Structure 1
Amino acid sequence: MTTLLIFTDLDGTLLDHHTYSFKPALAALQSLKTFSIPCIINTSKTFAELASLRKELNHQDAFIVENGSAVYIPKKTPLSIDEQLEDCGDYWRKSFGPKRDELIKLTNDKQDQYTFKRFSDMTYQELMSITGLNSTNAQLAMQREFTEPMVWTDSNLALNALRDDLAPYDVQIQKGGRFAHLMGEHCDKANAMLWLKELYEVQSDDDVITMALGDGENDIGMLSQADIPVVIRSPVHAPPEIPNRCDAWLTDAYGPEGWAQAINLQLTKQGIL
């Protein structure tokens, strides 16, 4: 027997890139609930953003925020946790990197050398115009704890130079669908995924296999470390290449429709559907 864990990106994956709708994935989400298969959100979004979205999705599993910066585990979870975690109300939190204020300080003097605009430099109205988010969701997106997204308008060469500048401070830059994200060196969707997988392995007598679904450059680490990597086709950019993984799936459909196809295919392969 095997225990299947689903790790999913949101924007452009479970949520449509343009409309943020997850309607095409609803039936597949319900299948996961029916068969008690954990569906772990692994996103660049903030804890504040996920509060309302998880209610809409009826999501009750653990979730990973800000590109792997922290894992939130509902206290009602059956997971057995040995290490000391932060107490955050209804959740236990495992964090992997520095707080946002440190990232802002480190880049305050870099704006003379490079062309970028951080969330902390924007109004929420500016973020609305960039993302298409409504005012409520734009304000939630700005409530970050561990990362600082930037609109990067300089060259890729300059981005790599800034990466080199920040490396001695254990800070990295990951590029997502819309933004480049400043974050701690050990903040990574893959690290957070593997940490959670270990928790499930401790309490399961079965083999635990991970299926990861994502569409962006910031999903590459997660996809490369998953047992079943699924690249969701995007309407706005080419699929990311997953190094050394010739077994990665690429969906035919875009966004949540492709997500649902991949989930249904895996459940069929396992004889569940």
Structure 2
Amino acid sequence: MPYLDDPLIIFTDLDGSLLDHHDYSWKPAQPWLDKLAAANVPLILTTSKTSAEVAALQTALHLTHQPFIAENGAIIHLPPGWQTQEQQPVHVMGARYSDIRQALVDLRQRYDFEFRGFGDVTPKQVAVWTGLSEAQAELAMQREASEPLVWFGNDLDFAHLKKCLSREGLALTRGGRFWHVMGTDAGKGQAVQWLSQLYRQQRGVPVASIGLGDGPNDLSMLETVDYAVVIKGYHEHQMPVNDGNGSQVFRTTEFGPHGWSQGLNHFITLP
């Protein structure tokens, strides 16, 4: 198990993980947030939220000096301290939002698929779907490389939609509340791997990675990191993380930020 003063990098999901599923509070996790900050451990927000949403949260969490991963891994933002001549401030993995929307509109017209995405509705409807305020919903609609969907059709049509998207170079990822459409080469696991490699190159030493998440869209992240915390979630989805020798995965008995703290207590030894 790593010590807090070892070379560490931590990737965390937000909704249902660091943030409470119901009120979006991170207060129960604050003691660990303070410990990580004092030890200069990078805490990388890794979420389905948009860049606009994450930027506001980063400020509130005092993490603006760290990178973040948005839209389920489709977008990586690098702060000045992480940028190089080769790396721009924003790294897009996969398809652009305008191309995703065009493909979805074309497929719906062609096959009469029954779904609605954020690009089809108003901020008021997104607020109803998510429990966010309308102002927060507007931030959630500022998308760059993925589209959340609500599916209303049957299973057969859904399987057909998946095949059609695959032919367009797109894939579906299951989130806590929505299906997310993005490029096939985008995902939390791919983004975590890319950012971990960049950090190791900067440090010049081996770095242990910890990932924390509660939903199916976190699985690729949890299977990429060295130590995975599967936070108990308010859903019925299976979370089959490949745990290697069995000691690298911890499943919490608590939800949200309480489970988040429980996971770090399990894996990180205080010096």
Q: Could you tell me the TM-score, scaled by structure 2's length?
A: 0.91
Name which of structure 1's ranges 225-234 and 148-157 shifts more when overlaid on structure 2. 148-157
2:75 to 70, 79, 88: 70
Amino acid of the residue matched to residue 3 of structure 1? Answer: P
Do 2:173 and 2:179's aligned partners in 1 also have CA atoms closer than 8 Å? yes
Aligned to 2:201: 202
Amino acid at match of 2:42: P
What's the CA shift for 1:181?
0.6
Aligned partner of 2:241 in structure 1 is 242
> In structure 2, what is the equivalent of residue 102 of structure 1?
99
Structure 2 vs 1, CA of residues 64 and 216 (structure 1 numbering), >3 Å: closer, same or farther? same
CA RMSD of aligned residues (A): 1.7
Shift, 1:180, TM fit: 0.5
1:53 is displaced (CA, Å) by: 1.2
Aligned-pair CA distance for 1:116: 1.2
% identical aligned pairs: 37
1:143-186: CA deviations, max 9, x gaps?
A: 10111110123344433321211112211111100011110111
Per-residue CA deviations over 1:17-43 (Å, capped at 9, x if unaligned) read 111111111111111001111000111
Aligned residue pair count: 262
- Cα distance change, pair 84–226 in 1 and its aligned pair in 2 (3 A): closer
Q: Note if contact 1:233-1:239 (Cα within 8 Å) is conserved in structure 2.
A: no
Match of 1:88 in 2: none
2:257 — aligned with what?
256
Quick check: 1:233–1:255 contact (8 Å CA) kept in 2?
yes
Q: Give the whole-Å Cα distance in 2 for the aligned partners of 1:17 and 1:137.
A: 16
Distance 1:250 1:168 in 2: 36
For the 8 Å contact 2:227–2:267, the answer to whether it is kept is no
Q: Does 1:120 align with 2:119?
A: yes
Give the gaps of 5 or more residues in structure 1. Answer: 86-91
Q: Tell me, in whole angstroms, the C-alpha distance in 2 between the residues paired with 1:224 and 1:239.
A: 14
CA distance in 2, matches of 1:103, 1:256: 33
Does structure 2 retain, via aligned residues, the 8 Å contact 1:2–1:206? no
> The residue matched to 2:73 in structure 1 has which SS?
coil
Please, which moves more after superposition, 98-107 or 201-210?
Answer: 201-210
What stretches of structure 2 of length at least 5 have no aligned partner? none
8 Å CA contact 1:15, 1:22 repeated in 2: yes
Q: Is the 8 A contact 1:69 1:187 kept in 2?
A: yes
1:158 maps to a residue whose letter is: D
- State the AA in 1 paired with 2:258: E
